[in-house]
Structure 1
Amino acid sequence: MTKILKVKPTRMELLRLKRRIKLAEKGHKILKEKQDALIMEFFTIYDEALALRRELNQKIAEAFEQLRLAEIDTGVVRLNEIALSVKPNKEIEIKKRNIMGVPVPLIEAEEFKRNPSERGYAFVSSSSKVDIASEKFEEVLELAVKLAEVEETLKRLAKEIEKTKRRVNALEYIIIPRMKETVRYISQHLDEMERENFFRLKRVKALLEAKAQT
């Protein structure tokens, strides 16, 4: 049985509850629409994340294969020396954007792919195999950053969907039914009071008529 709210069973309270029910139903509709839209957005981005993950795995495999070829061509010791001389990429900048009111990360960074001369190692002491391996790992880095942005966006959307779902369910299964049950209780109480007053007045009238006849 649905519980009722602890309120005074008055006409004023009855009118106030009916207004609250209308507002709650309107809020429920808005939240339900938001939840549905968030879920659609989530699965759109989820598909993007799956595609990025597959592409990233492929790029990683390609990068390590090129690294293996570079080791054969240049030698492990020389390759390590070249790796130590590589200039680091510039730092990324994490900003925010909104998806339906949900703040999600926006990662901004300069182009990860660089010319051999921009990487910092001596061109003459390197080889084309090293350049290819470097390029492949730069592609991996670019995809990894993009995937990180997308997956964090998914986490935040999922959290917002769960929060919105709890609010929708609370309105649909607890708050609105409880207010409606309270409205029924107050209406029944007021009807009963009206019947009692009617019979009381009818009895008083009968007594007055009887007294007038004596």
Structure 2
Amino acid sequence: MPEMLKVKPTRMELLKLKRRIKLAEKGHKLLKEKQDALIMEFFTIYDEALNLRRELNQKIGEAFETLRLAEIDVGVLRLKEIALGVKPNKEVEIRKRNIMGVSVPLIEAESFKRKPDERGYTFVASSPRVDLAAEKFEEVLELAIRLAEVEETLKRLAKEIEKTKRRVNALEYIIIPRMQATVKFISQHLDEMERENFFRLKRVKAILEARAEAE
């Protein structure tokens, strides 16, 4: 039997508990709906994360292959010199957005893809293979940022799902059963008191009637 609440077994407490049970059941229903919606959203984003991860791995492989060919084309030393001349990437801005009450990151940034003359190194010192390698790594960077946003969103959604699940379970298996058990106990206690009062009144009435007859 569930543990009962420590309250006075009065009719007023009984009414209060019944109202609390209705509110708790409504809250349980809303939390369960939220949990189900969060889980659906989680798996939708999870599929996106898997696709991004696969694409990123593919792009990384392609980028390093083009880098290898660029090293063959201009030499390791020259490639390092070109790399030192590359302008820094544009900064990203991290904002927030809301998914069913969960604050998740929203990374905003302009495209990292640049034309050869925008990268900072001279066209004469470079080669088409160096430009291609730079282009491939710019694609990798864009995908990596997108994946970081998605994976952080997944982490926060998972945390909120676990938190909501604990609250749903607490209401379903602890709080509501405890209040229901208390309601049952108070109801039984009040019924017993009514029966005792009934028999007491009946006995008093019988005594009064017996006295009246004796007089």
Q: Normalising TM by the smaller chain, what interval?
A: over 0.9
- TM-score, structure 1 as length reference: 1.00
Deviations 1:105-136 (A, max 9, x none): 00001110000000000101100000000000
Report what 1:36 is aligned to: 36
Distance 1:51 1:140 in 2: 14
Report what 2:99 is aligned to: 99
Q: Are 2:177 and 1:177 aligned?
A: yes
Report what 2:166 is aligned to: 166
Deviations 1:11-70 (A, max 9, x none): 000000000000000000000000000000000000000000000000000000000000
Give, as a single letter, the amino acid of the residue that structure 2 aligns with 1:111: S
Which 5+ residue runs of structure 1 have no aligned equivalent?
none
Distance 1:111 1:49 in 2: 20
Distance 1:74 1:177 in 2: 75
What is the 5 A alignment of 1:79-98?
A: 79-98=79-98
User: Please, what is the CA RMSD of the aligned residues?
Assistant: 0.3
Distance 2:66 2:141 in 1: 15
- TM-score, structure 2 as length reference: 0.99
Report what 1:155 is aligned to: 155
Report what 2:14 is aligned to: 14
Which 5+ residue runs of structure 2 have no aligned equivalent?
none
Deviations 1:152-186 (A, max 9, x none): 00000000000000000000000000000000000
Give, as a single letter, the amino acid of the residue that structure 2 aligns with 1:36: D
The 3-state SS of whatever aligns with 2:193 is: helix
Distance 1:100 1:4 in 2: 34
- Percent identical among aligned pairs is 84
Deviations 1:72-124 (A, max 9, x none): 00000000000000001111000000001100000001110000000000101
Distance 1:116 1:181 in 2: 75
**Paired residue total:** 214
Distance 1:50 1:56 in 2: 10
Report what 2:67 is aligned to: 67
Show structure 1 runs of 4+ deviating over 4 A: none
